[in-house]
């Protein structure tokens, strides 16, 4: 089946509404959250209408149906990521997944491979979203480990020349974004993963901006942990994935404790169930998990390679158009080499918030601000940027609407 964004748009009920007094909705904010196809909305509603019961507990038909749907979603997501089914942990979102890993490492006792102490290093980068920075800052503060980071080059890439000085025998964790939510840069994994594993460090990949947009195979990447959010991948809010290699999950202590995650409990102690249960205490976000299973089915049926190819064409088109205007400065790579569809820019003489508001008046939804990457924004020497982020349902017409909107804003704010 050939890829047609106009046909895809029909699957998303939101595109049948208008915005700002009858204008066509130009949604260029999928980096913040994606829109949802009807099948995902139906899956959540059907769960509550027809199957609602607590999974893994009740001895009745509804509980059985709910459990089958819930575990069926785990299997779909495992296949989607090239993972083993018991390596897929459901969380509330990527932020929780990354906190889970960092807090669990902080709970590791001496002798456990995840135990960190003064003299150990945690490596991040200057382009991290706060969700993949602050949990590591906190872990460093709790354990005495040192937080170090890759700088970002003026072109918006990681400075790989720092690998030998940053990845040393003291490095225990390398936590990196796969694709920057601000710059659109897709980071090279091979060299970093190899250097990390050579010194025995684990690699945690923040795949929030890559899993929705390209084929991601955890085994091929050779990474150790991965996090993403369902809501950026046409799935529901309130569900995310923490994936970890099985042998690492066995050694990683739990984060949240309580019901469902135990093997045995006495009045003074408890032992843990194996993963994934060890990391999923309490009644989980069942409807959202089931919705995410349907979301990955939806993306898989279209094909992640087709989605990536479509976004490549759209990104290249918008990048060329933005770069052709002298007053616009694009932050992040100016070529399509290892670059995804998050395009952040400034327009001379217009504050990004004013631009965002003006574009909104034209029915164009973009994001403005520091995009939860304050250290990166500061390093770029700007107070904020405007970001257009593209997805499978966007079209060249959307890009043109954005360019027309920017030109109108330039006239409006300069008159």
Distance CA 384, CA 124 (A): 22
Catalytic residue selected from 148, 372, 392, 409: 372
Which residues have a Cβ under 8 Å from the Cβ of 283 and sit 6 or more positions away?
A: 54, 55, 57, 259, 260
Residue bearing tokens 């966007």: 394
The CA distances from residue 297 to 57, 90, 363, 370, in Å, are 27, 17, 30, 33
What the block records as the tokens of 127 is 């382009």
Give whichever of 221 and 358 is closer to ligand PLP, judged by the CB atom: 221
Buried-state track 247-260, b at ≥16 Cβ within 10 A, e below 16: ebbeebbbbeeeeb
Measure the CA angle with vertex 240, ends 234 and 244; round to 5°.
125
Please report how the helices 286-302 and 38-46 are oriented relative to each other, as an axis angle in degrees rounded to 10. Answer: 150
Provide, rounded to whole angstroms, the least separation between the CB of residue 373 and ligand PLP.
8
Give whichever of 40 and 94 is closer to ligand PLP, judged by the CB atom: 94
For binding to ligand PLP (CB under 6 A), which residues are involved? 93-95, 129, 131-132, 177, 181, 206, 208-209, 229, 372
Strand partners, 150: 125
Provide, rounded to whole angstroms, the least separation between the CB of residue 374 and ligand PLP.
13
SS3 253: coil
Q: Which helix (H) or strand (E) holds 244?
A: strand 240-244
The CA distances from residue 29 to 26, 35, 171, 393, in Å, are 9, 9, 36, 12
Give whichever of 93 and 156 is closer to ligand PLP, judged by the CB atom: 93
Residues 323 and 399: beta-carbon distance below 8 Å: no
What the block records as the tokens of 235 is 């799935």
Provide, rounded to whole angstroms, the least separation between the CB of residue 177 and ligand PLP.
5
Give whichever of 230 and 293 is closer to ligand PLP, judged by the CB atom: 230
Distance CA 338, CA 157 (A): 10
Give whichever of 32 and 336 is closer to ligand PLP, judged by the CB atom: 32
Give whichever of 100 and 208 is closer to ligand PLP, judged by the CB atom: 208
Provide, rounded to whole angstroms, the least separation between the CB of residue 255 and ligand PLP.
15
**Does the annotation count 372 as an active-site position?**
yes
Provide, rounded to whole angstroms, the least separation between the CB of residue 372 and ligand PLP.
6
Q: Which helix (H) or strand (E) holds 396?
A: helix 396-414
Sign of CA dihedral 351, 354, 357, 358: negative
The CA distances from residue 103 to 23, 46, 130, 252, 260, in Å, are 46, 35, 16, 10, 19
Give whichever of 73 and 94 is closer to ligand PLP, judged by the CB atom: 94
Give whichever of 208 and 392 is closer to ligand PLP, judged by the CB atom: 208
Q: Which helix (H) or strand (E) holds 264?
A: strand 262-265
Which residues have a Cβ under 8 Å from the Cβ of 378 and sit 6 or more positions away?
A: none
Provide, rounded to whole angstroms, the least separation between the CB of residue 132 and ligand PLP.
6
Which residue numbers are catalytic? 372
């Amino acid at each position: 089946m050939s890829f047609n964004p106009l046909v895809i748009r029909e699957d998303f009920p939101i595109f049948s509404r208008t915005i700002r007094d009858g204008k066509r909705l130009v949604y260029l904010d999928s980096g913040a959250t994606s829109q949802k196809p009807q099948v995902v909305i139906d899956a959540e509603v059907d769960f509550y209408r027809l199957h609602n019961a607590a999974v893994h507990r009740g001895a009745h038909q509804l509980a059985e149906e709910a459990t089958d749907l819930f575990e069926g979603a785990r299997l779909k997501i495992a296949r989607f990521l090239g993972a083993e089914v018991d390596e897929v942990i459901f969380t509330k979102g990527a932020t929780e997944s990354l906190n889970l890993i960092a807090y669990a490492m902080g709970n590791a006792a001496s002798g456990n491979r995840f135990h960190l102490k003064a003299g150990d290093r945690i490596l991040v980068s200057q382009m991290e979203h706060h969700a993949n920075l602050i949990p590591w800052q906190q872990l460093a503060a709790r354990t005495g480990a040192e937080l170090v980071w890759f700088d970002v080059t003026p072109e918006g890439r990681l400075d790989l020349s720092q690998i030998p000085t940053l990845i040393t025998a003291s490095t225990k964790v390398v936590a990196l974004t796969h694709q920057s939510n601000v710059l659109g840069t897709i980071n090279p994994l091979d060299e970093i993963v190899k250097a990390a594993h050579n010194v025995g460090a684990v690699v945690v990949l923040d795949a929030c901006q890559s899993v929705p947009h390209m084929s991601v195979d955890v085994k091929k990447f050779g990474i150790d942990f991965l996090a993403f959010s369902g809501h950026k991948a046409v799935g529901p809010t309130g569900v995310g994935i923490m994936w970890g290699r099985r042998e690492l999950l066995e050694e990683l202590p739990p984060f949240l404790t309580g019901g469902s995650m135990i093997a045995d409990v006495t009045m003074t102690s408890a032992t843990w169930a194996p993963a994934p249960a060890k990391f999923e205490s309490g009644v989980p976000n069942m409807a959202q998990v089931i919705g995410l299973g349907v979301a990955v089915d939806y993306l898989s049926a279209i094909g992640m390679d087709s989605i990536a190819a479509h976004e490549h064409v759209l990104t290249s088109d918008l990048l060329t158009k933005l770069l052709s205007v002298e007053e616009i400065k694009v932050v992040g790579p100016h070529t399509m080499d290892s670059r995804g569809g998050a395009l952040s820019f400034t327009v001379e003489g217009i504050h990004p918030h004013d631009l965002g508001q003006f574009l909104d008046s034209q029915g164009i939804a973009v994001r403005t601000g520091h995009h939860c990457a304050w250290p990166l924004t500061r390093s770029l020497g700007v107070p904020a940027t405007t970001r257009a982020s593209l997805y499978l349902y966007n079209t060249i017409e959307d890009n043109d609407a954005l360019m027309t909107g920017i030109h109108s804003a330039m006239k409006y704010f300069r008159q």
